[in-house]
A and B are shown apart, each in its own frame.
Chain A
């Protein structure tokens, strides 16, 4: 079995060489390739033919697991070369993530073939690298950049060690919800111990809660990411979120809170940071209806949901800690006004503005029916394209001016 394990690794390392021979638009893609190469070469060195047979059998699975993990990364890097990417946004986004996460953070963007932005996260060996995939059909749409803010939130979760902070707290929150629903719990699971303290000491019964606890942590992370998106981008995050998801899927994913809970959390974040919810926002969503609200699975899911709900205040505090207002000011309406005025006359900005400010002004223009009515060459069909170009140019202007300021200082 050692031969196929070695050959699988060799084939992947050869693929890395082929990928490297092309030119990446983002220099950090080469760093990611080098990192994956190091990990795979280390795995190859662990295939020691003299080693214990039981060890080797496990290591073969470890190798397969690594290839499962990293082959999609290689595909991601390959697609980062696509001309569909909004390369103009790379500089401003890199600047933002470096201020938010760490000064050495690396960033690669790719247009991906999934209709949802995503990021690869949780890998210790690549934790200084942020890979953000945007749907290929939308990857140059500046208005959706706030969703990248959500993805950066996942990296803030990892970089600030928030699993460590919340793992035990979340379990305690779940225990409190079990206690609050103890009578119902006993009815549904009559074979479980009749005292909750006994249940907590019994590993067999405790296992019932390993998946719910995992899902609770995932949900908590997603809520934090929504709050990061709201905190950084204000109203623009709500608009981008709705553009992608409204009126809401017919069923929920257990890794996310119910959609209306997410909206409520986002609204509470907006209230905290002084943002106004877009008019009629909550009404555009259709809450899904669980097909069997009485099932045991739904009962456990409801306990997880309640535990996550109860943790919101702590998450809001965390967002204030990791995105302090002295370094990341709230998006100011008068600054958005200024960018909007430039866009109104079909010009990009001439003085620098933060990406959140530019995107918020973009959404204002997006919703204005009257804008550019006097410009006969900008019909309804061209409006979105023209707006996007103006936003891209505005981002570029800001980037150029930031670079010049850096050189000057």
Chain B
């Protein structure tokens, strides 16, 4: 292991493309669990790992700050109290709370609503896709190429 891999970067920073797929897979897993169709929650474990990575690498937790990309990603997906919709601190707290509820679901807790968690996973997948589109709009396109 070299110096780059050591230290505070043990979390991996998942891309929007990965998050879009992982969140959708987790949503299906929770959906099947709620219907009693399957008990395989491995996709949820993978999503929790990815989201933890994004959250931990987005800035100092103690300061309650998030970098703009991560703040936007979570803000578009999470439901916040009306008077705190613009608060970065509230976004961070809501994201942490969502991760805690996913962890509870993984432990088989009956206190969490699986359909609610599923819907949030779908919203996260949509948010990741929206981010990809936004960033790719910045990319120069071939001057003679037209797309649908």
Contact = CB atoms under 8 A, between A and B. Distances in A.
Interface string A18-52: 00000000000000000000000011001010111
Nearest to B28: A46
Interface stretch (A58-66, A238-246, A338-346): A58-66
Contact of A163 (B13, B17, B85, B132): B13
A200 interface: yes
Interface stretch (B1-9, B96-104, B105-113): B1-9
Contacts, number: 145
Given A55-B122, A164-B9, A202-B88, A62 B69 contact: no
A171 B13 CA distance: 15
A41 B129 CA distance: 20
A206 interface: yes
Interface in A188-217: 200-204, 206-215
A276 to B, nearest CB: 28
A160 interface: yes
Contact of A201 (B15, B69, B89): B89
A244 B59 CA distance: 39
A405 interface: no
A204 B86 contact: yes
A161 B5 contact: yes
Contact of B53 (A42, A160, A164, A204): A164
B17 A318 contact: no
B68 interface: yes
Given A62-B21, A160-B4, A165-B4, A48 B57 contact: no
A211 B2 CA distance: 31
B117 to A, nearest CB: 12
Contacts of A318: 4
Interface in B98-148: 115, 118-119, 122, 125-126, 129, 131-132, 134-135, 138-140
A167 interface: yes
Nearest to A43: B21
Nearest to A165: B9
Contacts of B64: 201
Interface of A: 42-43, 46, 48, 50-52, 54-55, 58-59, 61-62, 65-66, 69, 122-125, 160-165, 167-168, 171, 200-204, 206-215, 253-255, 318, 321-322, 324
12 contacts: A52-B27, A55-B31, A59-B24, A65-B132, A165-B9, A202-B86, A202-B87, A204-B86, A210-B134, A211-B134, A253-B140, A255-B138
Given A48-B28, A66-B21, A163-B13, 12 more contacts: A42-B25, A46-B24, A58-B24, A65-B20, A124-B18, A167-B13, A167-B67, A200-B65, A202-B87, A203-B87, A203-B88, A212-B68
